[in-house]
Amino acid sequence: MRVERIRNTLGNEKGQNLVEFALVVPLLLLLVIGIAEFGRAWMTQNILTGAGREAVRLLAVPPPYGGPTAAYNRAVAVLASAGITADNVLVVDTPGTFGPVTVTVNYSFPLAVAGFIPGLNNATFPLSSTTTMRREYKE
């Protein structure tokens, strides 16, 4: 009789897997969604860096090819081709022979899953890229 009672107690685990699954799924989803968001942010950061490089290159080459206005337009065009509207594109063209030229691109990265997590409605994460090159010509 004692052995049967132990077997019945141990054999009554029909809902255990479902309870364990219900406890683990939110953590698993959080991990997977976090990886996807990190990948999106990394891709956007690379686009910002590419736009900054393209723009600063126009400043570094001789004047017939570029200038501050052309550099700004090029950065905005690269960002627009990726579907990004930058919050701020700052072009700094310091005068002087072989002087540094700098382009800074700022963007508020929107989190895609912000609406599903309470307290994160319309949450954004600031991304920025600064690129500097030396001018390749004498003024």
* Total number of domains in the chain: 1
pLDDT at residue 122, rounded to an integer: 78
Domain membership of residue 10 (yes or no) is: no
Range of the domain at 27: 16-134
7 has a pLDDT exceeding 70 = no
Domain membership of residue 6 (yes or no) is: no
Task: Output the pTM of the full model.
Answer: 0.76
Q: What is the CATH number of the domain that holds 69?
A: 3.30.1300
Domain membership of residue 72 (yes or no) is: yes
Domain membership of residue 8 (yes or no) is: no
Rg (CA), the chain: 27
pLDDT at residue 130, rounded to an integer: 94
Task: Name the token pair of 71.
Answer: 């550099």
Domain membership of residue 71 (yes or no) is: yes
